[in-house]
Amino acid sequence: MIITKPPMGWNSWNTFARGVNERVIREAADAMVETGLRDAGYEYVVIDDCWSLKERGPDGRLVPNPETFPSGMNALSDYIHSKGLKFGMYSCAGIMTCTGAPGSYDKEFIDAETFAGWGVDYLKYDFCHFPAVADPRESYSRMAMALETTGRDIVFSACNGGLCEVEKWIRSTGAHLYRCTTDITETFPSILEHCRSQDEKIRYSAPGCYNDMDMLVVGMDGIGHHGHPGLCGDTEYKTHFALWCLFGQPLMMGSDLRRLRPEMLELLTNKDLLRIDQDAECRPPIEAGIKGDSRPSFFKHLSDRQFAVAFFNFTDEDGCADFRPWDIGLTTSAGVGMSLREVFTGEVVGPVNDFLSLYVPARDCKVFIGEWVTM
């Protein structure tokens, strides 16, 4: 099975963590449909950790907690599928998950069969309590094989927190996406740190196996497990989402979809940003200014002769972000220039093939989709 676009959906962890239950999963699925998120392309509804009993059943299989998932996984899976959505679950490559539920180490084939039997379409596979003597590459590879032998198409989302130089070997295991960072929190420094940590790693992300900088905190508004009241507002969410799209990331929402504000819905369904994120070629952006600048700009080749140009201000002071076309190989004598359209405001800039300095308010960004024109 090959995946050719970074997956889009929702995951329970950021908001619900240990409080997950079948009601909130159903309500998340309902909200995905009612808000138009499904029609915008979000399709996976993923239950993270804390769905199972702490012991396996007498047959050696994982058992959903009957108090929090009384209807069982088949009923929940049917419900999610009836909404035109796909069903995701979670397990762990170690002996236990991070919260002490049974992991799939050495139980990969039986667990994969259980997941397939529940109609699972996506498996997030964590890395807690991993035996010191075991080899991560072998374990992720074994689960990929186990999923394949079920005969069901299941997206395999590896999640080892970016450890063990995972970017160098994960593609060979059969995983379709892999976490290349630690856990995100709802703070601007965490968002930036997640992105900046990919400077040397984003090149590994490509169709078939995508980098995953973690679930989105867009619209959490301080509520939930990873919520930090007052530390992110609309500007920080906008920059967060723009960065994830520019870096071609899986878009797994983590907020409570039942109470998403209209501004957040508008952001999460921005057609131009989603077009950049889901671009078929998934090319890494090129930093087109002084590398590591706190007001950086980026250029990204897209398919269909288009490209994206983005200006960020990571600082707390308004100021200008510079774009140096020569850093992307474009010269003023080339006879072509960039015609740019901003994805939030529709503002048009260009044609231009010379130094461009744009004013960007603190923590904000400007993102353009561009086309080449003769000059």
Give the nearest distance from C-beta 257 to ligand GAL in angstroms. 18
For ligand GAL, the closer of residues 96 and 231 by Cβ is: 96
Reply yes or no on whether 183 is catalytic: yes
User: CB pairs under 8 A, 24+ apart, for 80-84?
Assistant: 80/25, 80/29, 80/45, 81/119, 83/29, 83/30, 83/32, 83/33, 83/38, 84/33, 84/38
8 Å CB contact between 87 and 99: no
Q: Please, where are the H alpha helices in 201-270? A: 234-246, 262-268
Output 98 or 134, the one with its CB closest to ligand GAL. 98
What's the one-letter identity of residue 138? Answer: E
Q: Which is nearer to ligand GAL, 92 or 282 (CB)?
A: 92
126 is catalytic: yes
Taking the complex as a whole, the smallest distance from the CB of residue 85 to ligand GAL amounts, in Å, to 20
Region of 272 on the Ramachandran plot (φ > 0 left; ψ -120 to 50 alpha; else beta): alpha
CB 226 within 8 A of CB 194: no
In the complex with ligand GAL, the residue whose CB is nearer, 250 or 285, is 250
CA nearest to 202, candidates 212, 192, 193: 212
Considering only CA atoms, which of 342, 228, 348, 205 is closest in space to residue 281? 205
| Residue closer to ligand GAL, measured from CB, 8 or 356 | 8
Residue 128 CB, nearest distance to ligand GAL (Å)?
6
Least Å distance, CB 161 to ligand GAL, is 6
Number of C-beta neighbours around residue 314 at 10 A? 22
Residue 225: CB minimum distance to ligand GAL, A: 9
| Residues 6 or more apart whose Cβ sits within 8 Å of residue 359 | 318, 319, 320
- Helical H runs in 166-270? 166-173, 188-196, 234-246, 262-268
Nearer to ligand GAL, 43 or 49 (CB): 49
Maximum C-alpha span of the chain: 74
- Paired tokens of 246: 């520019």
Nearer to ligand GAL by Cβ, of 73 and 252: the residue is 252
Least distance (Å) from ligand GAL to the CB of residue 250?
A: 12
Would you say the C-alpha torsion 178, 208, 95, 117 has a positive or negative sign? positive
User: Alpha helix locations (H) across the chain?
Assistant: 13-16, 22-34, 37-40, 72-82, 108-117, 136-149, 166-173, 188-196, 234-246, 262-268, 271-277
Q: Smallest distance, Å, CB 183 to ligand GAL?
A: 5
* 30, 183, 272, 322: the active-site residue: 183
Which residues make Cβ contacts (< 8 Å) with residue 274, sequence separation at least 6? 8, 40, 41, 245, 251
Task: Tell me which residues touch ligand GAL (CB under 6 A).
Answer: 13, 48-49, 97-99, 126, 128, 159, 161, 183
Tell me how far, at minimum, the Cβ of 291 lies from ligand GAL, in Å.
29
Q: Are 177 and 212 in contact (CB under 8 A)?
A: yes
Give the nearer residue to ligand GAL in terms of CB position, either 8 or 288: 8
Q: Which residue among the candidates 49, 126, 221, 277 is catalytic per the annotation?
A: 126
Residues, the chain: 375
User: What residues are annotated to the active site?
Assistant: 126, 183
